[in-house]
Amino acid sequence: MTALILSPNITTPDDFYADLIAAHEGLSDEESDAFNARLILILANHIGDQDVLNEALNTAR
């Protein structure tokens, strides 16, 4: 089982954050929520490990 990585793991986190914010520009609150849901599902599919996903859900909660 692969453990959830909680230590910094993005090479340029500020750049990613800027890209994430830019992706929401011009979206309504409803569209932004739908974008976030799609992004989460895409990333969850990429991870693919149910144990890691459950750990992420529990950690986020």
15, 17, 20, 22 alpha-carbon torsion, rounded to 10°: -70
Assigned domain for 1 exists:
no
Give the CB-side neighbour count of residue 7, counting CA atoms within 13 A: 1
Assigned domain for 8 exists:
no
Segments forming the whole domain that contains residue 54: 27-61
Q: In this predicted model, what pLDDT tens digit does every residue of 12-24 receive, in sequence order?
A: 999 999 999 999 9
Assigned domain for 61 exists:
yes
Distance CA 37, CA 32 (A): 9
Q: What is the crossing angle of helices 29-47 and 50-60, to 10°?
A: 140
Cβ neighbours for 4, distance < 8 A, ≥ 6 positions apart: 52, 55, 56, 59
3-state secondary structure of 33: helix
Assigned domain for 21 exists:
no
More confident residue, 2 or 31: 31
pLDDT value of residue 2: 75
Residue 35 has pLDDT above 90, yes or no: yes
Residue 1 has pLDDT above 70, yes or no: no
Q: What is the pTM of this model?
A: 0.87
Residue 45 has pLDDT above 80, yes or no: yes
Assigned domain for 33 exists:
yes
